[in-house]
Structure 1
């Protein structure tokens, strides 16, 4: 009987989707390393919180080192942290670019590089899940998003590359591409308008995202998948 406890690392874990994923993975029996810029210590001995901005050089490696020191292994990494800034393309500033690229790309790169290194030393391989957006495939005049498309499009592409690169070494890589999800990012006054952007006629809920990620977690024959969780946006209108 295998009694080894699996370990998940979740970025952007202080609220919304990230916080819900911490609970979901604990319910699966995983220990969890939760990281975000602002995060309180947990009373749960199975949850290690590590404060840090994944956009900063060295933070991703520090999170992975903390996970290994506390739990001795990493089985899953969920790259949930992300920044979305909606502006006309010519209105973006250098600061906007640095912020979005820092979290969405550098944050992914550094923590994933360290986590995959740890997974290669773990019996049973591992799983990386990225959080992207359907706007990469389905541009919308209602949600202008050049920097999101630029950076999240990169995540979609690298998902497939890494899935192939590590397929024979037991590491799966997948992505969930989201529509508009009902979180604190969106004011309540915008819900009706945002709901209309989805063919299903509603915004996504946090649990819709959590259940999609748990599906990928429990689907050992699925890798390199861009799973759209977008109320039909990517299928067309």
Structure 2
């Protein structure tokens, strides 16, 4: 996968998944703007890429505002002359159940994830349209945005919004040759280390042991580097026909998430009354209700954790 000559911005790439994405892009030949809220972390990440033979610069800014998004685009253009790829990875968590979540908890997560994705994608799209030769917007979603997750009102809402924006932007930017997709990663990170079922396997991995097959295949759970493989593909010419999609990756698993669609339909001549809905619900559209939440991991010999 040769991305020589392409320039990418990866938000929230000082560590974890973001750094894995930036590193994978650089290894494929792209020049990368590494971003983190902390300047030292951003510089350290950029240095790790350049010392490995890649090209990278750092831009320390808190993602969310239009000014921050423009600073990232301007940094790419100033350092490397153009912008071809925008990866919106930056994010934070403020997990609480609904009745305990504050306005500040909600706004902070939505500002970074949803507004940050919007402002960075908009700034990138403007620049790419001016350049006139297409580009790639790669947004970062989550299983929580596809299915919901207990205690993550703010995060799930933001990630679901990102999926909806991806579908919309894929239509709006098609004539400009700009593809827009979301990746839905599942990996061993600081966040997933807190899941009791995964914790012992992640700890063993840190000591050099491989993750077992039931995690890598059955759960699609692996390392950050496993997830990073999807990013250079979506940034490449091989993916020019791939747009408007939510694509899952993790461990040994690659998956395509469905778009929301009607799963059952019923009709009543002249329209529905409340009583008619109640009478037919269980035998018509409500016969097989949709499930919610991320399925619990299945541990061999122990059932669902």
Q: TM-score range by the shorter chain?
A: 0.7 to 0.9
Go from structure 1 to structure 2 and tell me whether the alpha carbon gap of 1:113 and 1:73 turns closer, same or farther (over 3 Å shift): same
- Is the Cα contact below 8 Å between 1:194 and 1:203 reproduced in 2? no
Comparing 13-22 with 215-224, which one deviates more in the overlay?
A: 215-224
Tell me the alpha carbon deviations over residues 83-119 of structure 1, each in whole angstroms, 9 at most, x when there is no partner: 2332211111111112101101121122211111111
The 1-side partners of 2:106 and 2:242 are apart by: 33
The 2-side partners of 1:199 and 1:93 are apart by: 38
Tell me which of 213, 218, 228 is aligned to 2:231. 213
Tell me which of 134, 159, 181 is aligned to 1:152. 159
Higher RCO (C-alpha under 8 Å, 6+ residues apart): 1
Partner of 2:141: 132
The 2-side partners of 1:73 and 1:107 are apart by: 21
Tell me which of 166, 169, 185 is aligned to 2:191. 185
- Is the Cα contact below 8 Å between 2:5 and 2:29 reproduced in 1? yes
Go from structure 1 to structure 2 and tell me whether the alpha carbon gap of 1:92 and 1:122 turns closer, same or farther (over 3 Å shift): same
How many angstroms does 1:227 deviate by?
0.7
- Is the Cα contact below 8 Å between 2:166 and 2:244 reproduced in 1? yes
Tell me, yes or no, if structure 1 residue 88 matches structure 2 residue 111: no
SS in 2 for 1:87: coil
Tell me which of 55, 65, 80 is aligned to 2:64. 55
Partner of 1:121: 130
Partner of 2:177: 170
CA RMSD of aligned residues (A): 2.9
How many angstroms does 1:6 deviate by?
0.8
SS in 2 for 1:81: coil
Partner of 1:66: 75
How many angstroms does 1:32 deviate by?
0.5
When Rg is computed on C-alpha atoms for both structures, the one with the higher figure is 2
- Is the Cα contact below 8 Å between 2:4 and 2:28 reproduced in 1? no
Tell me, yes or no, if structure 1 residue 200 matches structure 2 residue 218: yes
- Is the Cα contact below 8 Å between 1:191 and 1:203 reproduced in 2? no
The 2-side partners of 1:193 and 1:144 are apart by: 19
Go from structure 1 to structure 2 and tell me whether the alpha carbon gap of 1:106 and 1:69 turns closer, same or farther (over 3 Å shift): same
SS in 2 for 1:208: helix
- Is the Cα contact below 8 Å between 2:145 and 2:158 reproduced in 1? no
The 1-side partners of 2:98 and 2:151 are apart by: 8
> TM-score, normalised on structure 2?
0.68
The 1-side partners of 2:85 and 2:127 are apart by: 10
> TM-score, normalised on structure 1?
0.86
How many angstroms does 1:139 deviate by?
3.0
How many angstroms does 1:7 deviate by?
0.1
The 1-side partners of 2:222 and 2:151 are apart by: 19
The 2-side partners of 1:194 and 1:59 are apart by: 38
The 2-side partners of 1:161 and 1:112 are apart by: 12
Go from structure 1 to structure 2 and tell me whether the alpha carbon gap of 1:110 and 1:37 turns closer, same or farther (over 3 Å shift): same
